[in-house]
Amino acid sequence: MGLSLEHRDIAYRLLSGSGLEIGALHCPAVLDKTKCSVKYLDIHDMHTLRKHFSEVDPSLFVEPDFIGDINMKSIGEITNMEFDFIIMNHVLEHIANPIRVFIHVWASIKRGGMMVISVPDKDYTFDRDRQLTPFEHLLADYYFDTNETSDYDYVEFLQHVHPETFQSKEAFLSAVKNVKKRNEHVHVWNCSTFKEHLLRIMERFSIKAEIIFESNSPTNKIEYFAVLRKL
C-alpha cells in the first residue's frame, strides 16, 4: 500500500471560517472555499522560496500573505490577527524551538477553533536512520529560549541523510550552508513519540484541547496527523 493523503481531505472538511496555513510552499491544503478563507505565512517571500527549492515547479508555490519567522515572533505579532483555524503541516521538524512555536501558534486560534498539525514519521522518510528527538531536547530548547538552529545542529542530519558530504571540507561546508537555507529537519519523530510529546506539551503548559481527528503512518504511510480543537 502506497502513500495516501485521503486523511487530510477528511480532516479539512472539519474546518470553516478564516484560517492561516504556515509553510505551505507548493503543497497548500485543499479546502472547501465555500466554508473557508485562508491566508499564507512563510519565512521567505516566494522568490526566495523558489530559489531555495529549485527542484520544485515554480508555478506551484503559493504567495505568502505574511512573511515572518515563527521561531522568533508569535503569529499575533506577524499577522495582528486571530484565526478560526491554523494549518501547520510538516513545519515543527524544521523549527529550532518547537514548544515555543506551538504555544505561539495556539495563542492565535480562537476558542472553539482548530489546529491542524502533522509531522513526518521518520520510518517513512529519509530520516529513517536518524535518532528520535527526546522530549528533554525540546524542553532544553524551550528553557534556553533557542532562537535559531546552529550549523552544528545539521551535522547529524548530514551524517545520516547525506554522508557523502563529509568527503571534503568544501563539500561539507557547502552542504551545511544549503541545508540551513532550506531549514532541513532538525527534529525527528515517529507517530508514537510525537503524540506522546504533543500530549506532554499540552499537559505541562495547560493547553486546553481535544484531539478530534487523527491519522497515523501505518495507515497513511507518511505522517502523524491530527486536528485539535481549542476548548
> For 109-136, what is each residue's pLDDT tens digit?
999 999 999 999 999 999 999 999 999 9
pTM: 0.94
Per domain, the residue ranges of the chain are 6-148+186-230, 150-183
Strand partners, 41: 22, 66
CA distance 105 to 99: 10
Its CATH class, for the domain covering 6-148+186-230, is: alpha beta
Radius of gyration of the chain (CA): 17
Question: Chunked in runs of 10, what are the mean pLDDT values of the chain (231 residues)?
Answer: 80 98 95 97 93 90 95 94 98 96 96 98 96 96 93 91 96 94 94 98 97 96 97 97
Can you state the percent helix, strand and coil of the chain, rounding each to 5? 40, 20, 35
CA distance 86 to 83: 7
Helix axes 98-107, 191-204, angle to 10 degrees: 60
Query: From residue 130, how far is each of 71, 176, 221 by CA, in Å?
Result: 23, 17, 18
